[in-house]
Structure 1
Amino acid sequence: MKKDSADATEKEASAKLVPLHGIAQGRVGMPVAFERRELDLILRLYGRMVAANEWKDYAIDHLEDRAVFSVYRRASEVPLFQIVKDPKLARRQGAFSVVAAGGRILRRGHELARVLNVFDSRLKLVKA
């Protein structure tokens, strides 16, 4: 009999229901962060721009409502560009955007790779 009661207690302990809304509520208050693949794309771009002597420094901010990758020419300046991940805008305009130093949004979209293409097509000065 002891064996049966031990098995019943063990079964009750292993069958534990967890409501899904409790898991979602557990994320409230946690900062938004870039995923590994997203950071890989951003850091590859950063490496190319450092090699081209365009960018010198960066900062990553994980805030409650968004994650921001800021790019600097010098550490003492305001950021030249900010790559922003805002999950609240994911269904509407896209979670990713590139913001210039003045606050102007250069590109916004659902896919980070397409948003980062804004740096590939840079305008060049042509002498007439």
Structure 2
Amino acid sequence: MNRQNALKKKSVEMSKSSALGENKEKLVNLGHDIEELNNTYEITEDPPLNSDEYIDWMRVSDVFLKDKHSAFECKSIWHIYLHPHQQVQMDPSENAKLKDLAKNLNYQNWDQIAH
């Protein structure tokens, strides 16, 4: 994802340049590189736990959450709660029990529901 952002940034800088004619071929090539990244990028496995190698937390905070949460908060929530390795599969009876409990408490008081 960072390589894609770098290519897009370079493309914008080149298009603003006064020597647009000279940069036209380079812009076309950059466009092809970006398109290739868009088409070939595929997540094949979960990222390693406690690794931020492929995650730009500033971008997550800014673009996806409109700065409602800081990059640090996003990173913390991901590693503590949301990372796929932290997820435990519940069997259907546990899931039904949790839904009933939440409904009985009007989907509020999550501390009590969690215990």
TM-score normalised according to structure 2 size? 0.27
TM-score between both structures, scaled by the size of structure 1: 0.25
Structure number with larger C-alpha Rg: 1
Bigger relative contact order (CA 8 A; separation at least 6)? 2
Higher fraction of helix:
2
